[in-house]
Amino acid sequence: MPKVVSSEPTETEYRKRPARGASLFVSETSLEHMIDHADRGFGDGVEIMGLMMGTVYRDDLGYYAMVMDAVTSELDSDEVSVRFGRNSFEELFKNIDKVGGKVVGWYHSHPGFGCYLSDTDIRTHKGIFGNDPGFAIVIDPSDATIKAFTVENEEQKDAVMVIMDAV
Which residues are near Zn ion by CB under 5 A? Answer: 118, 121
Q: How far is the CB of 122 from Zn ion (least distance, A)?
A: 9
For Zn ion, the closer of residues 92 and 137 by Cβ is 137
For Zn ion, the closer of residues 69 and 121 by Cβ is 121
In angstroms and rounded to an integer, the radius of gyration of the C-alpha atoms of the chain is: 15
For Zn ion, the closer of residues 103 and 137 by Cβ is 137
What letter represents residue 160's amino acid? Answer: V
**Residue with the CB atom nearest Zn ion in the bound state:** 121
Q: How far is the CB of 144 from Zn ion (least distance, A)?
A: 17
For Zn ion, the closer of residues 12 and 118 by Cβ is 118
Q: How far is the CB of 79 from Zn ion (least distance, A)?
A: 12
Q: How far is the CB of 143 from Zn ion (least distance, A)?
A: 16
Q: How far is the CB of 108 from Zn ion (least distance, A)?
A: 5
For Zn ion, the closer of residues 27 and 111 by Cβ is 111
Residue 146 sits at the vertex; the CA angle it makes with 23 and 95, to the nearest 5 degrees, is 75
Q: Report DSSP letters for the chain, one per residue.
A: ----S--S--PPEE---SSTT--EEEEHHHHHHHHHHHHHHHHHT---EEEEEEEEEEETTEEEEEEEEEE---EEE-SS-EEE-TT-HHHHHHHHHHH-SEEEEEEEE-TTT-S---HHHHHHHHHHHTTS--EEEEEETTTTEEEEEEEETTEEEEE-EEEE---
